[in-house]
Amino acid sequence: MESEDQMSQPITLADDGFDLVVGRYDLMAVDCWAPWCGPCMVMAPVIEELAQEYAGRVIFGKLNTDENPITTERFGIMGIPTLLVLQGGNEVERIVGAVPKQEIRNVLDRFLVVE
Protein backbone atom coordinates (compact mmCIF):
# COMPACT_ATOMS: atom_id res chain seq x y z
CA MET A 1 0.00 0.00 0.00
CA GLU A 2 1.22 3.50 -0.83
CA SER A 3 2.19 5.81 1.98
CA GLU A 4 -0.10 8.75 2.64
CA ASP A 5 2.24 11.24 0.87
CA GLN A 6 2.25 9.13 -2.27
CA MET A 7 -1.52 8.63 -2.52
CA SER A 8 -2.32 10.70 -5.55
CA GLN A 9 -5.06 8.38 -6.87
CA PRO A 10 -8.43 7.71 -5.25
CA ILE A 11 -8.66 4.35 -3.48
CA THR A 12 -11.63 2.05 -4.06
CA LEU A 13 -13.76 1.57 -0.96
CA ALA A 14 -16.34 -1.12 -0.19
CA ASP A 15 -18.84 -2.00 2.53
CA ASP A 16 -16.36 -4.62 3.72
CA GLY A 17 -13.58 -2.79 5.53
CA PHE A 18 -14.92 0.75 4.99
CA ASP A 19 -14.49 1.83 8.62
CA LEU A 20 -11.05 0.27 8.84
CA VAL A 21 -9.81 2.20 5.80
CA VAL A 22 -11.38 5.59 6.53
CA GLY A 23 -10.36 5.41 10.18
CA ARG A 24 -6.69 5.31 9.12
CA TYR A 25 -6.68 8.81 7.71
CA ASP A 26 -7.17 12.16 9.37
CA LEU A 27 -8.91 13.73 6.38
CA MET A 28 -10.61 11.79 3.62
CA ALA A 29 -12.95 12.74 0.78
CA VAL A 30 -15.17 9.89 -0.41
CA ASP A 31 -16.77 10.17 -3.84
CA CYS A 32 -20.06 8.24 -3.76
CA TRP A 33 -20.99 7.42 -7.36
CA ALA A 34 -22.53 4.88 -9.74
CA PRO A 35 -21.54 3.89 -13.29
CA TRP A 36 -24.93 4.89 -14.77
CA CYS A 37 -24.82 8.40 -13.24
CA GLY A 38 -23.97 11.12 -15.79
CA PRO A 39 -23.03 13.81 -13.25
CA CYS A 40 -20.81 11.23 -11.50
CA MET A 41 -18.91 10.69 -14.75
CA VAL A 42 -18.49 14.48 -15.07
CA MET A 43 -17.05 14.64 -11.54
CA ALA A 44 -14.71 11.62 -11.90
CA PRO A 45 -11.85 13.53 -13.61
CA VAL A 46 -12.27 16.41 -11.13
CA ILE A 47 -11.86 13.96 -8.23
CA GLU A 48 -8.74 12.49 -9.93
CA GLU A 49 -7.24 15.97 -10.31
CA LEU A 50 -7.99 16.89 -6.70
CA ALA A 51 -6.45 13.62 -5.49
CA GLN A 52 -3.21 14.66 -7.22
CA GLU A 53 -3.37 18.27 -6.03
CA TYR A 54 -4.03 17.27 -2.41
CA ALA A 55 -1.69 14.25 -2.30
CA GLY A 56 -0.20 13.96 1.17
CA ARG A 57 -2.91 16.16 2.71
CA VAL A 58 -6.26 14.58 1.79
CA ILE A 59 -6.89 10.95 0.89
CA PHE A 60 -9.57 10.42 -1.76
CA GLY A 61 -11.76 7.35 -1.98
CA LYS A 62 -14.44 6.13 -4.38
CA LEU A 63 -17.51 4.22 -3.27
CA ASN A 64 -19.75 2.63 -5.91
CA THR A 65 -23.20 3.07 -4.33
CA ASP A 66 -24.73 0.24 -6.40
CA GLU A 67 -22.19 -2.29 -5.13
CA ASN A 68 -22.09 -1.03 -1.51
CA PRO A 69 -25.65 -0.56 -0.23
CA ILE A 70 -24.75 -0.88 3.47
CA THR A 71 -22.41 2.12 3.54
CA THR A 72 -24.68 4.06 1.17
CA GLU A 73 -27.64 3.56 3.50
CA ARG A 74 -25.60 4.21 6.65
CA PHE A 75 -24.60 7.66 5.39
CA GLY A 76 -28.12 8.33 4.10
CA ILE A 77 -26.97 8.99 0.57
CA MET A 78 -30.06 9.96 -1.41
CA GLY A 79 -28.49 11.56 -4.48
CA ILE A 80 -25.24 11.07 -6.33
CA PRO A 81 -22.63 12.21 -6.81
CA THR A 82 -22.13 12.86 -3.11
CA LEU A 83 -18.72 13.75 -1.73
CA LEU A 84 -18.39 12.87 1.94
CA VAL A 85 -15.67 14.68 3.86
CA LEU A 86 -14.56 12.48 6.74
CA GLN A 87 -12.27 13.51 9.56
CA GLY A 88 -11.04 10.66 11.73
CA GLY A 89 -13.69 8.46 10.09
CA ASN A 90 -16.59 10.79 10.98
CA GLU A 91 -18.55 12.84 8.47
CA VAL A 92 -17.87 16.56 8.89
CA GLU A 93 -19.24 17.84 5.58
CA ARG A 94 -20.94 16.64 2.41
CA ILE A 95 -21.27 18.06 -1.07
CA VAL A 96 -24.15 16.76 -3.20
CA GLY A 97 -24.25 17.07 -6.96
CA ALA A 98 -21.79 18.03 -9.66
CA VAL A 99 -20.03 21.16 -8.42
CA PRO A 100 -17.07 23.26 -9.60
CA LYS A 101 -13.65 22.06 -8.47
CA GLN A 102 -13.11 25.31 -6.53
CA GLU A 103 -16.16 24.60 -4.37
CA ILE A 104 -14.63 21.27 -3.29
CA ARG A 105 -11.27 22.99 -2.68
CA ASN A 106 -12.97 25.59 -0.47
CA VAL A 107 -14.53 22.86 1.68
CA LEU A 108 -11.34 20.78 1.95
CA ASP A 109 -9.19 23.80 2.75
CA ARG A 110 -11.35 24.55 5.81
CA PHE A 111 -10.34 21.20 7.32
CA LEU A 112 -6.64 21.30 6.54
CA VAL A 113 -4.45 22.20 9.49
CA VAL A 114 -2.09 25.06 8.75
CA GLU A 115 1.33 24.24 10.15
Determine whether 37 is an active site residue. Answer: yes
d(CA 27, CA 91): 10
d(CA 51, CA 28): 10
Max CA pair span of the chain: 41
The catalytic residue among 21, 28, 37, 47 is: 37
Active-site residues, by number, are 37, 40
